Amino acid sequence: MARGQQTQQEPADWVTRTADLALRHAEQVNGGTLPDLVTCASGISPSGPIHLGNLREFLTVHFVAEEIRRRGINVRHLHSWDDYDRFRKVPAGVDTAWNEHIGRPLSAVPDPTGEFANWGERYKAPLRAALVEMGCDMVEVDQTAMYRSGAYREQILTAIGKRGEIETVMSRFRTKKVEGAESTAESTAEADDAGHGASEDLARFPYKPYCRGCGRDTVTLTSYDDETTDLAYTCDVCGDSYVTNVATQDEGKLVWKVDWPMRWTFEGVHFEPGGVDHASPGSSYTVGKEIVGPIFGGTAPSFVGYSFVGVAGMPKMSSSKGGVPTAAEALRILEAPILRWLYARRQPKQAFNVDFGQEVLRLYDEWDALTKKAAVPEKRDAAVLAWERASATSTAGTLPTPAVVVPFRMLSSVADVTAGSREITARTVGASEADLEPRLAKAATWITEYVDPEERTTVRETADAERLAALDEDEARWLELLLDGLPASFDSVDALTTLIYGVPKLARGLTVEDAPTDEVKADQKAFFKLLYDLLVDAERGPRLPTLFAALGPDRVRALLAR
């Protein structure tokens, strides 16, 4: 068993098992002992908003690295920003003038807003902030800097020198159609690796220069000299011709299916996940496994394929199209541990949706129930283990949660009828704003910005005089009993609940403590409908005690008194 491997007494989950495999692999490639540093890697191209699907790349590595670190093993989460990838298309909402930059590295494309140094930095920034809020720590690698600094020169020359061997592997897989390639990241890899040379020898060249004149990768290779390493090309866009010396000039990059296995060796990667499409026949990981040893002398890392994450009611997300929910957006309504929990509790191969609608209420309820369970040591199981992974990290400690836990549905209901006022909401539920954060702000944001206006509660501005004048005998009696029993201040939601449910009992000669009869239950239903009608001009709304508490005694009396 690998040093630090999970014991049988501990509950196990997918993180446990994946860490076991990663450590076993690290031992194997290091001659039977663990290396001084275990490397878990992630990578992404910041071509657009880094959405909740992309977040799985980061969190899968984060959770595994955290588990390895928990076992007392030196580990790092190494993340590559693939900002030296080409800019492929202009997303909706961006000036069509940006078509001028198609084919240039993301790091060389200007940010349309002028706020960031370049296109890639524009999309890195919000993800970095979200990861800080979620307590994720990683070592960042900028691939533009790596390539432009010449860090990979030796590896590039090796790949070019062994291009025949690479092509033998590539051609073998090229005959197999990649499943779903038309709609996956693999189709992009195929396009980027496609032939661009003028001769058979250069058609599948493993290295692509960016044009020295216009900065694009739209080039046709015309010759390569193995002795001098001079690579000649003509740009298909600007029409200019240049010669770059691969051994001394850093003006291009390896094609993706060669770049990935090169980095496995260069960085000493022991574990790295990828989308399930990357592990299908003929895809990046399967091709990389065949290339990494013969070409670079390395070993493919332990790998887990993860499925897609979507948003309820929306198709699979694509960052290049824009308009997709990001981690930063999700954190506006979900506490950081809850967002982490969505990923920790499911195996990577399980696809799931994040629902920004009414499902948020159930999600918070489920989290609160699990939090109570986690407080009982005897109930510790795999579900509690997922809660523990979501709740704290080795670098950030325990992530922020409210000091006073009030159900999210109650906070959002009060915020609904108070136009999102945090001050009134806090006063209504009987706690300070500080003690309710960060949940209070997220509840107010959710109800005011994410819930359909038609589902919101609109309190009447004035009493419905016509309806009050048309009360029947039972309705008039109910309101009389209610108004007589209303306290001067609504300090206790429990007391309001007892009164509101008790009015129909009192009207039938019972006490508020008596169990309701069938007749009382029917009266309660009619009474509640009347109250909603008079207060919010609807058949239903927030729980009446909560609604009363949010409105306060003066406004309730003003809307219900004849």
pLDDT for the residue numbered 556? 95
pLDDT digits (tens, 9 = 90+) for 58-108: 999 999 999 999 999 999 999 999 999 999 999 888 999 999 999 999 999
Q: Which residues contact 23 (CB under 8 A, 6 or more apart)?
A: 2, 3, 4, 5, 34, 38, 68, 73
Place of tokens 């073998």: 172
Answer yes or no: are the C-beta atoms of 208 and 236 closer than 8 Å.
no
- Amino acid (one-letter) located at 239: G
Whether 185 has a pLDDT exceeding 80, the answer reads no
Q: How far apart are CA 487 and CA 553, in angstroms?
A: 8
Helix 553-560, helix 473-485: angle, nearest 10: 160
Higher-pLDDT residue of 4, 40: 40
Q: What is the mean pLDDT of the chain?
A: 91
pLDDT digits (tens, 9 = 90+) for 139-172: 999 999 999 999 999 999 999 999 999 999 998 8
Answer yes or no: are the C-beta atoms of 335 and 438 closer than 8 Å.
yes
Q: What is the mean pLDDT of residues 118-143?
A: 96
Q: Which residues contact 229 (CB under 8 A, 6 or more apart)?
A: 157, 160, 245, 246, 247, 248
Percent of the chain whose pLDDT exceeds 90:
80
Q: What is the 3-state secondary structure (H, E, C) of 111-172?
A: CCCCCCCCHHHHHHHHHHHHHHHCCCCCEEEEHHHHHHCCCCHHHHHHHHHCHHHHHHHHHH
What's the pTM? 0.88
Q: Which residues contact 555 (CB under 8 A, 6 or more apart)?
A: 459
pLDDT for the residue numbered 180? 42
Q: Which H or E run includes 68? A: helix 55-70
Return the structure tokens found at 283.
Answer: 């895809």
Q: How far apart are CA 197 and CA 360, in angstroms?
A: 53
Q: What is the mean pLDDT of residues 230-237?
A: 97
